[in-house]
Amino acid sequence: MELGTIISPSEPDLIDATFVDREKRFTVHARLDDGTVVATHLADSGRLTGLLNPGGRLRLRPAAPESKRKTAFTCCLVHAPRADCWVSVEAARANRHAAVLLEAHQLPWLKAPLTFRREVPHGNHRFDFLVTDAEGPCWVEVKSVSWVEDGEGLFPDAPTLRGVRHLRALADLARSGERTALLFVVQRKDARRVSAAADIDPAFAEALDAVAKVGTHVDACLLEPRSDGSVRWRRRIPVVTRTTTE
């Protein structure tokens, strides 16, 4: 896949707004161009470090007229002024983009042809993907990255017990002889590499080191969301763990 290839199309209905404040985790108040302040759904429970600043630029998706949602808009994109780039704040879209990358054979640790299923249960856990290629099944977890500092993509931006459990489940599978992978999808264009935010969640950093040490493929893909809602492929970038630096 060439640099700049569109992996998700534009959304002509997106509208401009500016950030006012955040109410709890899943609601953002935004000011439209006519001055009206509206409540919007925010599909990311993280802190969104460095992104939600008063007056910051947003792009909103209107809800379908027939929907019975409490909010009439979804907050899709936030502009990061220091990097001058748009950041997707829809964490679940990372899985959609990962599916496109699987179909396009962009992950070299999986061999074409391949098939995959989504949200596959195993024991007490549900994995994002179960991919099957010529070498057999591979359990894949996906994490969305929206926080970047000086080119370093950082995850998580808030403590995540769920994320730690995901990684420990992957490590258990790897120890039992299963193929496993962890894919970070960076939903902004300005990262050069990814690492664990150990100051925020030391347990996640420890789990990341452990899962890499037992042979899980740990990879990251850099995407470029644009103001029109389209998303472009950029490249794979390294993930730094204690295993990679030893």
**Domain check: are 139 and 203 in the same one?**
yes
Distance of CA 241 to the CA centre of its chain: 18
Instruction: Report if pTM > 0.85.
Output: yes
Last residue within a domain, chosen from 88, 117, 144: 88
**Domain check: are 136 and 222 in the same one?**
yes
**Is the pLDDT reported for residue 246 higher than 70?**
no
**Domain check: are 84 and 103 in the same one?**
no
**Domain check: are 65 and 139 in the same one?**
no
Instruction: Give the pLDDT confidence score for residue 124 in this predicted structure.
Output: 86
Structural domain span for residue 64: 9-88
Q: Among 61-65, 77-81, 204-208, where is mean pLDDT lowest?
A: 61-65
Mean pLDDT of 21-48: 94
**Is the pLDDT reported for residue 177 higher than 70?**
yes
Name the residue with higher pLDDT: 24 or 160.
160
Q: Which residue has the tokens 């970047």?
A: 148
Last residue within a domain, chosen from 73, 88, 103: 88
Give 114-123 contacts, CB < 8 A, sequence gap 24+. Answer: 116/140, 122/169, 122/173, 123/169
**Distance (Å, rounded) from C-alpha 51 to C-alpha 231?**
19
Instruction: Give the pLDDT confidence score for residue 123 in this predicted structure.
Output: 85
131 contacts 137 by C-beta, under 8 angstroms = yes
**Distance (Å, rounded) from C-alpha 211 to C-alpha 150?**
26
- Phi first, then psi: what are they for 119, rounded to 5°? 50, 60
189 contacts 148 by C-beta, under 8 angstroms = no
Q: Which band of pLDDT confidence, cut at 50, 70 and 90, is reported for residue 64?
A: confident
